[in-house]
Amino acid sequence: MSAEVSVVPVVVDTANSPYASLKPVPINAVRLADRFWEPRRRINRDITIPLQYRHLEETGRIDNMRRASGKKSIPFEGIHFNDSDVHKWLEAAAWAFATDPSPDLARLIDQAALEIADMQQPNGYLHSYFVFEKEAERWTNTRFMHELYVAGHFIQAAVAHYRSTGETKLLQVAERLAGHIIDTFGPAEEGKRAEADGHPEIEMALVELYRATGETRYLDQAKFFVDVRQGMGRMNRAEYELKPFREYDRVIGHAVCAVYLTSGVTDVLAETGDPTLRTALERIWDNMVFKQLYVTGGIGSRWDNEAFGRDYELPSERAYTETCAAIGSVMWNHRMLALEGDARFADLLEHTLYNAVLPGLSLDGQSYFYQNPLADDGTHRREEWFGCACCPPNVARLLAQLPGYFYSTGPDSVYVNLYAEGSAEIQLPEEGQTVRLTTRTQYPWDGDIEVEVKSGGDFGIFLRIPAWCEEGASLEVAGERFGKALMPGSYAEIRREWQAGDKVRLRLPMPARRLEAHPYSVDTSGRVALMRGPLLYCVEKVDNPGFDLRDLVLGDEADFTGSFEPELLNGVVILQGRASVVPPDLGWQHRLYRQKTAAPAPAPHTVNLTAVPYYAWANRDPGQMLVWLRSK
């Protein structure tokens, strides 16, 4: 290592970033004990991560590394960037080890680490595809071959391994690889390649390597890749003008590439304070959120190039909304929250976690969605693995990191970003003070949240008032009503001399709500979506037999109530209410088009409608699913 840096298992280490407003909390400082997230994290640790390692072995991904190190004489198998799946898996396993170490997990980590380290070339290069007969092709097609993308995922895994175990062996491999990249890429006048990868990732990785080692040349290289880049990632040249990042005023191109790049740029901004980067990020975020965001929080509407479409182009059944893109959005908003301390980023982070990331993984932790449509005829089902398996280990690493997203620290303050039952022991770096908190809640099923302060002292607690809670939120501090107005989409600041045992009670009403989309979003015109608390709902055929879900109509008077069903879908609150079924009139038989007439519509009949959380769809018998329902 280049410098002595304390080993703390933080996901994004802004602790010493001069332009970050909030600092991270280590993932092992937070213990979740809830019935929503912690069971998923347990499945992730005990089932998903070991099963993914088996898939990596069975599909030749790890054998590719043994081939590259000379241990096996076999042909390369799969896609040229398959190493990245191993690296993401390794990062997931490392973060899982940080909170729940076990001999079995340590054994798998050591196996993967050995195969990766053994294939490193003498000059630091690390990629199992570009060896032997392919060696001459290294770095010759950075737009499409994604060598820097693969390298970035390994560097992030190595940093996670170092922070989680305290071991430096993989960090040293990462430093040799980064040194080779620095020797290869840079200004053309220095005889280097003045270009960036078609798939951003290396930017985030180099900043985090800088944070882990204190070596400024890694930050300088990340800045170089941001400055030299033309375009937001892999794009169709015929459709989009390629230009420097700072000139973009909208998010375009491949959705994962776009948010991976903005995440890396945010990391660079947190270290440099470059105002031109901040301005560009704000413009791009606004465009994504106000004109290109699905009601799920998903991004990327087009199957063509897995890309963003035009503003308001948000089809439901053909929504691409890749799971990796949702994860990239979480990563970006996590970084923007640290940068600015603004609750709007925590709001979108939460919404995306529940409604765009979670659908990508089955309830048993063994199968995955690559695309996440908002309407389906029953044919779209999760798969155990993919030829391009970017999404499965990406989901695993996010779930493993999750405790690190719940809290942040500001100047002599704790920020509560997400809510779940559990406890936290948080160091306030500026004060040298330890804050111990215990949270009791059934969130997201119930909006009553109690935070008990277990340690006394003078510090602030910032509680997020979610943007979805537009009215009726209330707050009590040590038995007294909070004296300031609570603003949805902001943090409520409570600052006092705390006594051990003081309790804060936040109540967030959770009625069923109807959302309508912008009128320019043609696919959702005349339709509504149902939400309760932070969760989006959908209707599935299995709960609503006997009619075509496309014939459902929700009248303005329809009232929905929620009830908890502990045996359904691992325990969910369902929404139930009355709706109408209005099928097409008989005049449409054997016709696709006809002259517009004033023919009377068939008489509607009333049905009992059941809606379930969208994240849990497609875990039962195949059938129709709809998020957006006709309202007139």
Active site residues: 306, 390
Does residue 322 contact residue 331 with C-beta atoms inside 8 Å?
Answer: no
Give the count of beta carbons closer than 10 Å to the beta carbon of residue 497.
Answer: 9
How many residues make up the chain in this entry? 632
Is residue 552 classed as helix, strand or coil in its secondary structure? strand
Tokens for 69? 């190190």
How far from each other are the two terminal CA atoms of the chain, in whole angstroms?
64
Residue in 206, 277, 291 with CA at minimum distance from that of residue 246: 277
Q: Cα separation of 410 and 343, whole Å?
A: 13
Give the count of beta carbons closer than 10 Å to the beta carbon of residue 149.
Answer: 24
Three-class HEC string of 362-382: CCCCCCECCCCCCEECCCCCC
**Rounded (10°) CA dihedral 522, 526, 527, 532:** 110
Tokens for 339? 């940068």
Q: Cα separation of 481 and 476, whole Å?
A: 4
CA angle, 333 then 469 then 572, to 5°? 85
C-alpha to C-alpha distances, 374 to 47, 66, 255, 313, 550, nearest whole angstrom: 28, 41, 17, 14, 13
Q: Write the DSSP assignment of 387-399 as a string of letters.
A: SS--HHHHHHHHH
Tokens for 211? 């944070």
Angle between helical axes of 83-99 and 49-58 (0-180°, round to 10): 160
Enumerate residues 6+ apart whose C-beta is below 8 A from 545.
Answer: none
> 349 φ, ψ to 5°?
-60, -50
The whole-angstrom distance between residue 372's C-alpha and the CA centroid of its chain comes to 14
Helix or strand run (H / E) with residue 563: strand 561-565
Q: Using the structure block, give the residue that is written with the tokens 């241990």.
A: 71
**Rounded (10°) CA dihedral 544, 549, 551, 555:** 70
CA angle, 89 then 303 then 394, to 5°? 10
Helix or strand run (H / E) with residue 605: strand 605-613
Angle between helical axes of 61-68 and 103-118 (0-180°, round to 10): 40
* Residue 592, CB-side half-sphere exposure with 13 Å CA sphere: 0
Does residue 119 contact residue 64 with C-beta atoms inside 8 Å?
Answer: no
Enumerate residues 6+ apart whose C-beta is below 8 A from 497.
Answer: 456, 457, 458
Enumerate residues 6+ apart whose C-beta is below 8 A from 412.
Answer: 428, 430, 431, 433, 458, 459, 460
Taking every pair of C-alpha atoms in the chain, what is the biggest distance, in angstroms? 79
Residue in 570, 535, 562 with CA at minimum distance from that of residue 350: 535
Tokens for 580? 């109408």
Is residue 542 classed as helix, strand or coil in its secondary structure? helix
